[in-house]
Structure formats: C-alpha cells, structure tokens
Structure 1
Amino acid sequence: MGEVRALAERLQAPMIPADATSVADLETVFTESTQALGGKIDFVLHSIGMSPNVRKKRTYDDLDYDLLSKTLDISAVSFHKMLQVAKKQDAIAEGGSIVALTYVASQRTFFGYNDMADAKSLLESIARSFGYIYGREKGVRINTISQSPTLTTAGSGIKGMDHLMDFADKMSPLGNATADDCADYCVTLFSDLTRKVTMQNLFHDGGFSSMGMSLRAMNQYSKSFEEFKDESGKIVYG
C-alpha cells in the first residue's frame, strides 16, 4: 500500500484495504471501521478514479466497452456501492458528511479526458440522488468537489495533463487549487459549519469554472501565433 501504509503507521491509525468495487469488501470496511472507532462514522471521502481505456490510450471514439464498464464501476458505481452499504449498516452518524472528488469535465468537454468524463457525470448524479434519500432519512450530507486538475496516479495517464494544468492555472484568477488546498476544503465540508449543504457540486478550482478567457491565457495564445509568422507578418499554418 506504499505511502498509505506509511501514513497509517505515522498516525497510528488502522488501515483496512478493500476493493472499492466489491460490496463484500465494503461491508467489511464499514463493519471494521465502526468497531475500530467505537461508534458510527462522522465523515467519508471517496477519492477513487481510474480508466483502463485512458491507460491503454484508447480514444473516446474507439473505446473498449468492457474497459468502459470497469471505468464506470471503479470511478462512479463504487460510490453508490459505498453509500448503499453504509446506509444499510447505518454506519454514518446523524448529520454526517460524505464527499466525493470530481472534475469539471463532467460538464464540459476536455480533450483527452476520455471516458472519465462520463464517470464523473455519473458520480455527481449519484451524489444528488443518494443525497436526497440519505438527507431525508438520516440527515447525512453528500456533496462533490470539482477540483482543479491535480497530478494524481490516475490523472498522470491523461494525455497532455501537464499542459492542461498550465492552461487551468493561467485561466484561473486564483491559480490552481493544490491537493493540500483540496484537503482543507474537504475539512470544511466534513465539519458542522456546512451542516445544511448537501447534493451540491462545489467548484474548488481558483475560479476556472466561471472563466471564459483570462489575460494570461490570451497572451499565451497570441504568443503561439507570433512564433508562426513569416517575414511579411502573415500567420503560417502547418
């Protein structure tokens, strides 16, 4: 488990490994977690995403559908499985908070994000649908955070990820939100300060999602054309 195991040892916290797509494994996770904690769980973070199609460099118009099913199961359906198991076990405390991480590609098209965009759309839909039921019956909040592009193990496989991160940073008035920034934002949603916030997709991206074009991005765009002008000043297209 690499760094996760090292972190668990440093915090002296039990680590319970599981396949997030396995209902049986998730049942074990919640059973053992409540036992270890001595009671119900106050908050849960779903931070899982992976596309075999992206890893195998399959383009969106040439997807392997068996791999697409795995993408959806790992990146989105696992969220529903987790919520369903938790609710059936009554493992989440009254007023508890559940958060999942998503990306703006669920709502807009980004080159190279591929079938992960479909998975994130499904993830957000699950948060809304389950959020209504869990909120009405148990007072449990369910939200998603649409984070800036962040270099993760899954994200590193997306074509042009470094360029995407640079573009987002130039477009965002506050710049990209880091992984540490995201962790801080998660804490606010886990706290009682947001006890009336549920079924929301909350953008945590430095303002990127509200932008059309920034000065920094426009300057970069103009500069790229300057590099392709001929001696007469006309733009040369390759």
Structure 2
Amino acid sequence: MAYNLLKGKKGLVFGALNEQSIAWKVAQRAVEEGAEIVLTNTPVSIRMGTIDELAKACNAPVIAADATSVKDLENLIDQTMEHFGGKFDFILHSIGMSPNVRKGRTYDDLDYDYLAKTLDISAISFHKVIQVARKKDAINDWGSIVALTYIAAQRTLYGYNDMADAKALLESIARSFGYIYGREKCVRINTVSQSPTPTTAGKGVLGMEDLLDYAERVSPLGNASADDCAGYVLTLFSDLTRKVTMQNLFHDGGFSSMGMSRKAMTTYGKGLEVEYEDIRLKK
C-alpha cells in the first residue's frame, strides 16, 4: 500500500545490484511513494548485476560512478541535477565491501592495503558523496541523506571483520557532517542499523547463516527484511522526519536492546546438555 510519502520528491540511490539489495527495495518503494530517482553503481557492478531491469521498472536513468572517486561523484551529481532540472531531495548510500573479508583474512591478520580500501569504499565514500553534494548545493533545504550500517559498529560480532571499523567511521561521518549540513541547509543525515540481511555482500560475512539464526532467535520481532528496511528508510526521506538528524537508528526487530531471549537461552541450554553428555561418554 502506497501513502504518497515522497510525492514530488527526487532522489539518488547508490548501491542497487540485484533484487536482494536493500538499495533495490528502496528504489522500488520510493517510486511507489511518488518519487523520481536516479540509480548509480560502479561500472563493474552494473555489468555484474541486473540494475538495468530496476531502471526500466522505475523509469530511472543509471549513471555509472565509483563512489571513491571525487571526479566520478562530481560528474554524477552534475548529471543527476541535469536530469532533474535542478536540486533533488534525498540520497541513499548503500555501499560496502571488504577485500579482507573476500580474501578470507581474519581481523588479527589484516592486509592493511585491503583495510584502506575497505574504509574508502564503505565509509569515506559517504563523506565524499556528502561533500560533493554540499559543494554543488545539490540538495534542497530539508533534504535527507541516509546510509546503511550495522550493529557491529558498537558490538563485537565474530566474522564481521574490518567492516565493523568501517561502519563505526560511517556513523561518525553522519554525525559530524550532520551538524554542518543541518546548520547550513537543514539537510538531515542519519544512519540505519539494519538486521543482518542476506544480500550479496552480506552473504560474504563469515558465519552469516548462524548470525541470521541467532538474531532471529534473540529479536522479539524477528529480523527485519530488506523490504522492511526500505519502508523505514522512506520515512527518513519523507517530511515526517524533518527534525531527525545525526542519529544512528536501529531497525533490527529489537535485537539492539536485547541481552538474551528465551529461545536463545533454551538453545544454549540444549547445547550444554550435549556437551556434558559428550564429556561423560569420554570418561
């Protein structure tokens, strides 16, 4: 059901790769809610993914850009403003990748060149996007910028690796730039800390299936899906959240406020029973 939350608004969506992508869902829902959008991703991601299908369905152009390249971003913002005939209203940053994770390097054995790339792609690109948009005065007053993050920025979660550091930096950028852009143009900047989600990137995290199961058992509402996340992000693009900025907003079914659920405790107890039985049999 559509509510016309974004009627008359225009936005730029980074990171849609395929139907599993949260950015893909955000793009679809934004158009359903009345927005016009421009889609962007790296040239290689455009070739590997199916973003052209999304573009056709959303009647949106696809503009290739490497979000780590200021030159590419300047061209992207210029072309987006040309397409819209002026400023636009929102940006989604849904970008993240760790070469260390992809190469199987654990956190205690990082390749530091890879780490630099992780930080540049997954966090510093957010700063670059905001800085270019601000310098070009591309976003309307009371506009909204949202980036996707994860609770590993606050808590240690085995297997999330150097992406946890990147997400912590991403959230800091939202706060620091949120003050500047909010003071000057009333543009709000927030991060959404989403449940573990089986996107293409998410599936590369060590132990992702176990993490999904654990979060599902602990969260009182269960894990939030990509489509659920899209609905939440749209409220942050809308005029209903005009005074929400510099926040890290958890969208995780309550996981972030939990210690141990009854389901998880029961499973833990059963595991202990098996362990004790194994010990007894070995004696």
Q: What's 1:160 paired with?
A: 207
Of 85, 102, 110, the residue aligned with 2:157 is 110
Root mean square deviation of aligned Cα: 1.3
**Cα deviation, residue 225, structure 1:** 2.0
Task: Answer whether contact 1:225 1:235 (CA < 8 A) is retained.
Answer: no
Aligned pairs for 1:116-127 (under 5 A) are 116-127=163-174
Aligned partner of residue 54 in structure 1, secondary structure: helix
Aligned partner of residue 218 in structure 1, secondary structure: helix
Aligned residue type for 1:150:
T
Structure 1: runs of 5+ lacking an equivalent: none
- Structure 1 residue 18 and structure 2 residue 65: aligned? yes
Aligned partner of residue 68 in structure 2, secondary structure: coil
In the alignment, the residues of structure 2 paired with residue 175 and residue 50 of structure 1 have an alpha-carbon distance, to the nearest angstrom, of 26
- Residue-by-residue CA offset, 1:42-82 (whole Å, 9 max, x unaligned): 00000000000000010111100000000000000000000
Aligned pairs for 1:1-238 (under 5 A) are 1=46, 2-230=49-277
CA separation of 1:120 and 1:236: change in aligned 2, threshold 3 A: farther
In the alignment, the residues of structure 2 paired with residue 11 and residue 207 of structure 1 have an alpha-carbon distance, to the nearest angstrom, of 32
In the alignment, the residues of structure 2 paired with residue 206 and residue 69 of structure 1 have an alpha-carbon distance, to the nearest angstrom, of 32
In the alignment, the residues of structure 2 paired with residue 203 and residue 187 of structure 1 have an alpha-carbon distance, to the nearest angstrom, of 15
Aligned residue type for 2:147:
A
CA separation of 1:236 and 1:46: change in aligned 2, threshold 3 A: farther
**Cα deviation, residue 236, structure 1:** 7.2
Task: Answer whether contact 1:226 1:235 (CA < 8 A) is retained.
Answer: no
In the alignment, the residues of structure 2 paired with residue 190 and residue 124 of structure 1 have an alpha-carbon distance, to the nearest angstrom, of 18
In the alignment, the residues of structure 2 paired with residue 154 and residue 71 of structure 1 have an alpha-carbon distance, to the nearest angstrom, of 13
Q: TM-score, normalised by structure 1?
A: 0.96
Aligned residues: 235
